[in-house]
Amino acid sequence: MLAIWEREKVPVGHILIEENAEAERIGFVLDGLLAMVKTLPDGRRHIIGLLTPADLFGRAFNGKSGYRIEALTDAELLTCPRTPFEELLTRSPEAERLFLLNVLDELDAAREWVMVLGSGKVVQRVASLLLILCRHKVQGAIAPRAPINLHIQLKRVDIAHLLGTSPESLSRSFKQLERDGIIAINTPYNMDVLDLCELTEAAGNALLIEDFGL
């Protein structure tokens, strides 16, 4: 019954689903970080969204993927071929319900990105990204006023493409947040969020602090 599922490891840079191709496999992210990447004809690439552990990738039922699924870090996956997966959903209403709920969450996440990208200046978008990362980290647990340590697994270029800006502007925004005492940059891939409230303020309140239950 569960024999269709297969555990696999992929290295950084590995392409799981090519752009404009039928997805052959469906899968969950167990560990690591994947990205949905759209390559423009002029060579520029744009990151549409991230896939973190517990997220589902690949598309069932509705045709080709408009973007590439790519591993941003070494990653561990749980995958299965598309057709058996679709049959599973058809046979088991429980599985289909779980899948539906997952897709609804993805929809919320996508709309949240629309919000972030649509409004405001670069600093606000950076702050919003950090807020989302913090939310992932604390996961509902009330964070005290203690600093929140973040491991950024993304290169600056990738973050820039994700936020629709350039690495240079991104760097300046980080520095500004640091000057304002909102974050502390330890290394390019490790920073502490010192004040969640001010960070929310800096995000232009696009993402409400209520999300944290504070």
Partner DNA sequence: CCGATTCATTGATGCCCGTCAACGAGATGC
Partner DNA sequence: GCATCTCGTTGACGGGCATCAATGAATCGG
Q: Which one of 84, 93, 188, 213 is in contact with DNA (CB under 7 A)?
A: 188
Phi and psi at residue 35, to the nearest 5°: -140, 150
Q: Residue 20: which residues within 8 A CB-CB, separation 6 or more?
A: 64, 65, 66
Q: Is 174 in the site for DNA (CB under 7 A)?
A: yes
CA distance 193 to 184: 7
Do 139 and 147 meet the contact criterion of CB atoms below 8 Å apart?
A: no
Residues 84-143 that bind DNA (CB under 7 A): 121-123
Asked whether position 155 contacts DNA by CB under 7 A, the answer is: yes
- DSSP E strand boundaries for 67-211: 68-71, 75-81, 148-151, 183-187, 190-193
x/- contact string, 89-108, with its own copies (CB under 8 A)? -x--x--xx-xxx-xxxxxx
Residues 15-54 within binding reach of DNA (CB under 7 A): none
Regarding 166 and contact with DNA (CB under 7 A), the answer is yes
Based on its alpha-carbon atoms, the radius of gyration of the chain, rounded to whole angstroms, reads 18
The item of DNA, its own copies, none sharing an interface with residue 121, based on CB under 5 to 8 Å by kind, is DNA
Question: How many C-beta neighbours within 10 Å does residue 173 have?
Answer: 21
Count of residues of this chain found to bind its own copies when the rule CB under 8 A is applied: 44
Binding flag, residue 167, DNA (CB under 7 A): yes
Under the rule (CB under 8 A), what is the footprint of its own copies?
A: 36, 38, 40-42, 44, 46, 48-49, 59-62, 66-67, 90, 93, 96-97, 99-101, 103-108, 110-115, 117-119, 161-164, 204-206
